[in-house]
Each structure stands twice: as structure tokens, then as C-alpha cells.
């Protein structure tokens, strides 16, 4: 996948975090495991809370369980990555209407970033790079363009590492990131050839081929198409998501429900009407 060659706004990192996952495979994320029975019980309880829905309520109930598990098993690599994941989700669920909202969100993003950074010092992996980058980028959503420009080389380096070592991570998560980049970047930069919209589009299609049951990729595709002026195609993708049975991918039920929620919000934003009206 080609990357942007220069600065782009990083407010586009509205990523989604996985919940209720099975064993690693087909792009899924590993569920933390522990030899300590008490720790494993805490992990399983936290995972069960977000099995069917990702919400402030479920995350607020799950985070203390994972924090306690981390205290009892402080060198558990996958547990640290899961904490980075949960903290990103918690921040992303919060309002973002003003600077005060962003400051509150950043409390969670900074915690997630710290856990991912610890994991990276222990061992490089797609998960550690992914959640470090997601939390870091999200913490810059309300920064000025110059601050975001300075951050860009780090974001590019991290996502390039994922592409080189585990491109299928998180059901093509890299494709979602960069489609959002192209959708959000000022058009003048696109005109300068700093990003290739068709490459981003192909990458999203590749992600869908990787795991066609994962609905968030279609939601991102719809948002991307709308940003490119392909409005009928965009609404077709969102309509597909909203008509789909989220149980098509049982171990990612919560994420498919989230995809439908975001698709409904995008439909309302684009058409000024409730789905399925146009």
C-alpha cells in the first residue's frame, strides 16, 4: 500500500477496536492469556463485557478488571496491548464538540499510548505499533496543522512497519487508517500528488476480500467514497452495512454493531435524513 509522502491531518484516526475475539487468525487480534488463573478470570470477564456491545458503560466496567489483571501479571505482553485497545475505545466513545471534550478524551488516549509504548519496548509487533499509533494520532485530533505535520513521520514509520510485517492485522486496519487520511486531507494536497485516492480505494477492497464479514471496512469505504464525490456508491456501501446481519461475524458482533451505528450516523450526516431515506 502506498503512503502519503508528506504531512496530512491526523484527525482522521477514528479507528475501531476489536472486542469479543477468538484466537489469532484471519486478521483477528490475540485474546490475552495468563498462566495465573485469577488473572485469566479477570481478562475473560472484561472481554465478556464487550462481547455484544462497545459502549462507555461496558468499557468502564471492563477497564478496572484489566488494570487489576495487569497488576497481578505485569509483564503480560498481550494484556498491555489490550489495555491500549480498551483505553482507545474509551476515549473514542466520548464527545468531541469542543477543546474541553478533546482534553477529556486525551486522558484515555494517553493512557493507551503509554501501555502500547511499554509493549513496544518489550517487543515489536503489529498490535503494539497499531495501538500506539491509534492513541497517539487521536491525541492530536485538536492540534494545529503544524503539530500534526511534525507527528506525521512517526505515524508513517509505524504503519509502514505493520505493512511490512503483518499487513492483514486487524482485518486490514491499515487500509482503514489510510482511507481516512485521504478522506480528511485537504484537497490541495491531493492535487499535489501527495496521496493516491485510487490506491486507498484498492486497499479497502483488499481488506474486504480478506474478511468480507467485517462490516467496519464497508463503513469506511462508504465514507471514503463520499469524500471523493462518489455519493451514490457511498450510500450503497452504507446501505449494505445497515441491512446486514451483524451476527454474520459472531466473534466480531460488537464491532459489526459499531459499524452499523457509524454507518447510520454517516447516512444522516450525508443525506440530512434518517436511513433509508435519501
In a domain, 250, yes or no: no
Q: What are phi and psi of 234, to 5 degrees?
A: -60, -50
In terms of residue numbers, what domain contains 68? 9-170
Cα dist from 61 to 85, 111, 190, whole Å: 15, 16, 43
Q: Is residue 243 part of a domain?
A: no
Q: Residue 189 domain-assigned?
A: no
In the chain, the number of structural domains is 1
Q: For residues 256 and 140, give the distance between their C-alpha atoms in angstroms, rounded to a whole number.
A: 27
Q: Is residue 132 part of a domain?
A: yes
Alpha-carbon gap, residue 154 to 139, rounded angstroms: 14
Instruction: Tell me how far CA of residue 162 lies from CA of 119, 141, 168, in angstroms.
Output: 15, 22, 9
Instruction: Give domain status of residue 228, yes or no.
Output: no
Q: What's the rounded Cα separation, in Å, for the pair 8 and 54?
A: 29
| pTM: predicted TM-score of the whole model, two decimal places | 0.82
Cα separation, 264 vs 77, whole angstroms: 36
* 3-class SS shares of the chain: helix, strand, coil, % to 5: 70, 0, 30
| Residue-by-residue pLDDT tens, the chain, 278 positions | 444 433 333 344 444 333 333 333 347 778 899 999 999 999 999 999 998 889 999 999 999 999 999 999 999 999 999 999 999 999 989 998 899 999 999 999 999 999 999 999 999 999 999 899 889 988 988 887 777 777 777 877 887 788 788 878 889 887 887 787 677 766 665 666 656 788 889 889 988 998 999 999 999 999 999 999 999 999 999 999 999 999 999 989 999 999 999 999 999 999 999 999 99
Residue 277 lies in a domain: no
d(CA 110, CA 269): 29
Dist CA 99 CA 111 (whole Å) = 19
In a domain, 264, yes or no: no
What is the grid cell recorded at 251? 466473534
25 lies in a domain? yes
Amino acid at each position: 500500500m502506498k503512503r502519503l509522502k508528506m504531512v496530512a491531518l491526523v484527525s482522521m484516526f477514528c479507528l475501531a477496536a476489536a472486542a469479543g475475539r477468538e484466537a489469532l487468525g484471519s486478521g483477528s487480534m490475540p485474546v490475552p492469556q495468563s498462566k495465573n488463573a485469577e488473572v485469566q478470570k479477570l481478562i475473560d470477564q472484561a472481554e465478556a463485557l464487550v462481547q455484544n456491545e462497545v459502549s462507555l458503560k461496558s468499557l468502564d466496567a471492563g477497564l478496572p478488571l484489566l488494570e487489576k489483571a495487569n497488576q497481578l501479571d505485569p509483564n503480560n505482553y498481550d494484556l498491555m496491548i489490550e489495555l491500549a485497545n480498551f483505553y482507545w475505545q474509551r476515549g473514542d466513545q466520548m464527545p468531541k464538540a469542543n477543546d474541553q471534550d478533546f482534553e477529556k478524551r486525551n486522558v484515555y488516549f494517553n493512557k493507551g499510548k503509554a501501555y502500547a509504548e511499554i509493549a513496544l519496548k518489550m517487543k515489536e509487533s503489529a498490535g503494539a505499533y497499531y495501538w500506539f499509533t491509534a492513541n497517539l494520532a487521536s491525541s492530536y485530533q485538536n492540534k494545529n496543522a503544524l503539530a500534526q505535520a511534525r507527528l506525521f513521520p512517526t505515524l508513517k514509520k509505524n504503519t509502514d512497519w505493520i505493512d511490512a510485517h503483518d499487513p492483514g492485522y486487524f482485518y486490514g486496519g491499515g487500509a482503514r487508517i489510510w482511507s481516512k487520511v485521504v478522506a480528511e486531507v485537504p484537497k490541495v494536497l491531493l492535487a499535489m500528488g501527495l496521496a493516491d485516492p485510487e490506491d486507498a480505494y484498492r486497499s479497502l477492497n483488499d481488506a474486504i476480500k480478506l474478511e468480507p464479514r467485517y462490516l467496519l471496512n464497508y463503513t469506511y469505504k462508504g465514507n471514503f467514497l463520499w469524500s471523493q464525490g462518489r455519493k451514490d456508491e457511498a450510500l450503497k456501501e452504507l446501505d449494505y452495512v445497515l441491512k446486514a446481519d451483524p451476527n454474520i461475524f459472531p466473534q466480531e458482533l460488537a464491532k459489526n454493531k459499531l459499524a452499523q451505528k457509524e454507518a447510520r450516523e454517516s447516512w444522516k450526516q450525508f443525506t440530512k435524513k434518517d436511513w433509508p431515506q435519501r
